[in-house]
Structure 1
């Protein structure tokens, strides 16, 4: 998947679990900076993550990391269980990949 598709996938995952981009940025910040509580640095980090979810030049590897982070987050697992997310294997045809992605996106998750 390309950058735009991964960014859309992240927004879809966050929507499915009822979380925001700010939530994602905060969880990433505190996971990488345990015990750190600097409001200015936190706000800068949140803005950086939000921009990464919009810019076409964001590396797909970083976005894939964000998807894995969301999917493996303890709060998400406790609330939702398993998220319906198709991760490309690059061994199937592009048509089949798109069908599997569409199927995964069609599964409704009750985040309550």
Structure 2
């Protein structure tokens, strides 16, 4: 649990610093690539690093040491030091996985609709245990109703063990009056994965996830076998795996 929260918090801190110094991910990629290289950098190399950096800011499996390098670089830029000296930096508040995170989670969601979804989904998730890493997928939208699947990593019941956390989910729908509410939930979302690294999306009535399973010699908190999973929902809001494809190892 702690490792995944640490990754999330470092990703959030990088995004906050970029916002404060006024850099886009593209600008960071260019400056970092040039400053950290002992040779001239080609444009295609900056583009390649930018794509890698974008993924590293969203994947739950990004190595902590990589994120630490980016934070160290950003905090030593002239732009950030200038903000520090003028007292203009915004305090970074790490997530804890507990209910005190609720306001932070909502404040960091800028999409109006997704924020309304999180208002009920995050409250639900944090009321049943610790929760972090929320992902929202829209399932349906018509003139009468919209529905969303919200997936998070959580430790239901606060069991405080590395073997007790895993994916959980709830379904959020809108009433015809426009109110959002949780219509169903699964505290132990059976995806066949130990952890979900990416929610690819929902298409043709299939939910697509990428995550990790255990290899023979893996530690409990470090599954190494990467898989792509396809899931479908039945008429009773139950999800089941219809395909699980091995796509590589984590290095």
Task: Name the TM tier (shorter chain).
Answer: 0.5 to 0.7
Q: Closer, same or farther in 2 for the Cα pair 1:4/1:51, shift >3 Å?
A: same
Report the structure, 1 or 2, having the larger helix content.
1
| TM-score of the superposed pair, with normalisation by structure 1 | 0.65
Residue 81 of structure 1, CA deviation: 3.2
| Structure showing greater relative contact order (alpha-carbon pairs closer than 8 Å, 6 or more residues apart) | 1
Structure 2: tracts of 5 or more residues without a match = 105-251
How many equivalent residue pairs?
Answer: 90
Residue 76 of structure 1, CA deviation: 2.7
- Residue 70 of structure 2 aligns to a residue in which SS? helix
Counterpart of 1:27 (choices 31, 36, 39) is: 31
Counterpart of 1:52 (choices 36, 52, 56) is: 56
- Residue 60 of structure 2 aligns to a residue in which SS? coil
Which residue in 1 is equivalent to 2:219? Answer: none
Residue 74 of structure 1, CA deviation: 2.2
Q: Closer, same or farther in 2 for the Cα pair 1:67/1:84, shift >3 Å?
A: farther
Distance 1:62 1:72 in 2: 16
How much is the aligned-residue C-alpha RMSD, in angstroms?
2.6
| TM-score of the superposed pair, with normalisation by structure 2 | 0.31
Which residue in 1 is equivalent to 2:14? Answer: 10
Distance 1:14 1:41 in 2: 21
Which residue in 2 is equivalent to 1:105? Answer: none
Structure 1: tracts of 5 or more residues without a match = 89-93, 103-112
Residue 84 of structure 1, CA deviation: 5.5
Q: Closer, same or farther in 2 for the Cα pair 1:85/1:60, shift >3 Å?
A: farther
Contact 2:20 2:90 in 1 (8 A): no
Which residue in 1 is equivalent to 2:66? Answer: 62
Which residue in 2 is equivalent to 1:72? Answer: 76
Distance 2:16 2:55 in 1: 17
Contact 1:22 1:46 in 2 (8 A): yes
Flag as ranges the 4+ runs of structure 1 deviating above 4 A. 82-86
Q: Deviations over 1:11-54 (max 9, x none)?
A: 11111222222222112100122451311112111111111111
